Amino acid sequence: MNERQFDKIFALMQASFPESERRTYAGQKELLADPYYRVITETDNHNQIVAFLAAWEFPFFRFVEHIAVDPSTRGSGIGGKIMAAYIEESRKPILLEVEHPDTEMAQRRIGFYERRGFHLNHFDYVQPPLQKGQDNLPLKMMSYPQLLTDEEFMLYRGILYTNVYKVKD
């Protein structure tokens, strides 16, 4: 990935996620060297990045950390297309974090994933801070193709905390 492509992806991330749900520019760029981390992009007819999916590929499961679509092309089906392709190539469970369903926008996001076969798990879960000085962020975990057992949740959370968030469980 060249500097220009990374800058476009980071700009999309800034336009799509609050500061509490993303890293700093330098912190995000560091992830590109991590063997578990992968970024998939979708481009338009002019070879411009219009969407991306950033995920972690672990031995037992996959974790979608971010998926975003350029504001000018939202609602065109690109987000569903990139997510469907990711699901199609997967032979492992897929996890992702979502906000609690307390707002209409959060409910819409959850519905987007449910229409693709994800399930909202009941477990209490917090995302550790992605930047210094931030607080833990209460979220919910969604999983594909089925709900997680207690044992799976504890295992996967431990892997996420260690590898993605760099904290001890």
Per-residue pLDDT of 20-49, as tens digits, reads 999 999 999 999 999 999 999 999 989 899
Domain interval for residue 107: 3-163
In a domain, 168, yes or no: no
| Structure confidence at residue 75 as a pLDDT band (50, 70, 90) | confident
57 inside domain? yes
CATH of the domain at 27: 3.40.630.30
In a domain, 32, yes or no: yes
Predicted local distance difference test score (pLDDT) of residue 169? 64
How many structural domains is the chain composed of? 1
Highest average pLDDT, of 75-79, 107-111, 132-136, comes from 107-111
- Residue 169 in domain: no
Is residue 80 in some structural domain?
yes
Residue 111 has a pLDDT of 97
User: Which tens digit of pLDDT belongs to each residue from 113-146?
Assistant: 999 999 999 999 999 999 998 999 999 999 999 9
Q: Secondary structure of the chain in the HEC alphabet?
A: CCHHHHHHHHHHHHHHCCHHHCCCHHHHHHHHHCCCEEEEEEECCCCCEEEEEEEEECCCCEEEEEEEECHHHCCCCHHHHHHHHHHHCCCCCEEEEECCCCCHHHHHHHHHHHCCCCEECCCCEEECCCCCCCCCEEEEEEEECCCCCHHHHHHHHHHHHHHCCCCCC
